Chains A and B, each alone.
Chain A
Amino acid sequence: MTMAAAYALELSGVEKRFGATEIIRGVSLGIARGERHAIIGPNGAGKSTLFNLISGRYAPTRGSIRLDGEEIAGARPFAINRRGLARSFQVTNIFPRLSVFENLRCSVLWSLGYRYCFWRNADALRDAGECALATLEHIGLTARRDEAAGVLTYAEQRALEIGITIAGGAQVILLDEPTAGMSRGEADQAVALIRRVSEGRTLVIVEHDMSVVFGLANRISVLVYGEIIATDAPERIRDNAAVQAAYLGTLPDA
């Protein structure tokens, strides 16, 4: 084991340019195994772009991204997912015409080794069915299992979004604004859900809602204009002068 593998996820000198515009300007960050890490920052700071680089939606212009010590920068999303990293999306990204159950079963097929199998009936794959049902229970959608995912309520779709992300058993989970657009009560439920499902895994979360961030995270990174200006424990982030300047006092003072 090299030193690098001490981190579940490690970014060093990651840059991303779109044409002449530099969105991510040299991000270095190490996230320990089992850590719940939040990335905060003002709108347009590049939080979602950073997630897109880590999960393979975009390739970084420069820099290295290591998952469990292995380089994944520039790999395709499915290749990164197969190595144990799964992500959710800020805008709900589910399979709308498939049933809720089918959404989850599809999400476990690869990790259970069924790959592109076209000679076995999916209904006969007991482990896939059980895995899907367990996740269904976990996210509280058991009663909706046979509904088409597209007809669920917004909050239910957000829960399914998380379910699809965690169903495959990935060790590193990236959640992009999981409580976006939720009411207070729904957000509280979502936080409880995230806490449950991230048990024993590494969680990286982008979130605007500060009560969610401070309620969940062990450590927080603040991203401003494509650079991380601070990474620290929640209470120290709150007192950090640079962070306060960036946010102009929008952090809760409780």
Chain B
Amino acid sequence: MSGATAAGEHGARSAVPGRRTWRLLAAVALLVALPYLPGFQSDFGRSLLTQMAIAAVFALSFNLLFGQTGLLSFGHAVYFGLGGYAAIGLMRAINHGLPLPMLAVPLAGAAGGLLAGAVFGAVTTRRAGTIFALISLGVGELVYAATFMLPGIFGGEEGITASRTRATVDFGFPLGSQLQVYYAVLLWTVAAALAMYAFTRTPAGRMCNAVRDNPERAEFIGYNTQRVRFIAFAMAGLFAGLAGGLHAINYEIVSADAVSAQRSGTVLIMAYIGGAAYFIGPILGAIVITWLQSSLSDYTSAWLLYLGVFFIVMILYAPSGLAGLIVMHRRVARPRALAGVLAAYGIALVPLALMAGGAILAIEMGYRLSTQPELGTRMRLLWMPLDAASPSPWIVAAVALVGGLLLFRAVVPVVASAWERAAARA
């Protein structure tokens, strides 16, 4: 499936040159209008949009390594964080009178990320595969430890703070309100996304794909694979650093969590869930995961557990990610063909909802009993009051879970045959 898109791209480009441009302009127009749409007019909503944009740049930069070059990094936050520290340093200098606009701060992040990427990349890209992944993990731990060992540079546990409003020049674009920050971040996000896409289309970018597919053969057509990996790594560092710079502007603080293993893990999950084989996949993943992080945590303290379950389910049943699911359905997107598939989904939704309900009930009660005993066993799930110490809700949960599972297995052939009919029609 992934190969089919990579293969189809060239033909589509030459056939309809204008359509992509129009689609891009429409997307940008939507992004510009977003903070005025219902639900996003509050500072909270606009902050969420800003975080999504930053995460999108970070996830795209990660995917230059993972999806494009086949390098799995467990330490990509290093370049995000070091870029962030470089950016917050520039912000402080601007606070102290350096005549630069705050809008230029992400450039310092990009420079910091590029430098860090070039330095660490020179070592880590000597090897690919498992060795590369392990070294990236080691570098991540090393830099994380360094942020505590060198408080003079990294500010120790408190991190380094700066103000985004105190600047001598702003060229009419001050970065005060969340709305102003959103537009500044959006500007850099669109520029960075376009630049990263353009990179994938250059000879070096094409060879990244070739090295991903078959590093050995790449050596026999004249390319030093180590050099190709290094270029991808430096590029990924640059754009991760830029995302870190945006992060510095948004939060006005950069601390050790910016380089943490948790951030490295989150960006991996974003790229994977979004669909690493597609250029826009990581953007989708960044949007969904950022949204889950901020909204799910309002509803339940077990949200990380749900995130983990979501990740596992995606890996097992939709390894090509959200973008892969979209592409799969676009192929049967003719109204009549799609109708059958959607009807089958409707049927499958019933046992799925039953299963999910049972699972959520059990997880929430278990979570309350094991991690929050001080709150007592009486709790409320949505509108339902229940007692986690009594057997009846546990029985309900078990029946829903097992019954849902059995029903779902019965429904699977229905969905499969609906798909076959749709595929035959499309």
Which A residues have a C-beta under 8 Å from some C-beta of B?
55, 76-78, 81-82, 86-87, 89, 93-102, 105-107, 109-111, 114-123, 125, 128, 145-151, 164, 168
Contacts and interface: CB of A to CB of B under 8 A. Distances in A.
B362 to A, nearest CB: 41
B235 interface: yes
B6 A98 contact: yes
Contact of B202 (A97, A117, A164): A117
Interface string B204-217: 11110110111011
Contacts of B199: 118
B221 A168 contact: yes
Given A116-B207, A123-B201, A95 B219 contact: no
Given A97-B212, A110-B223, A115-B203, 5 more contacts: A97-B3, A109-B221, A109-B223, A121-B201, A150-B3
Interface stretch (B176-184, B224-232, B363-371): B224-232
Contacts of B231: 116, 118
Interface of B: 2-4, 6-11, 13-14, 198-199, 201-207, 209-210, 212-214, 216-225, 227-228, 231, 235, 277
Given A94-B214, A95-B214, A122-B201, A110 B222 contact: yes
Contacts of A121: 198, 201-202
Contact of B217 (A102, A117, A164): A164
A122 B204 CA distance: 9
Contacts of A145: 11
30 contacts: A78-B221, A78-B222, A78-B223, A78-B224, A78-B225, A87-B220, A94-B214, A95-B209, A95-B214, A96-B214, A97-B277, A98-B6, A102-B210, A106-B207, A106-B210, A109-B206, A109-B223, A116-B203, A116-B204, A118-B205, A119-B202, A120-B202, A122-B202, A122-B205, A122-B206, A123-B201, A146-B8, A148-B4, A149-B3, A164-B221
A99 to B, nearest CB: 3
Nearest to A110: B222
A155 to B, nearest CB: 19
A102 B217 CA distance: 14
Nearest to A95: B213
A114 B277 CA distance: 25
Contacts of A99: 3, 6-10
B214 A123 contact: no
Contact of A148 (B7, B13, B219, B235): B7
A190 B204 CA distance: 32
Nearest to B228: A116
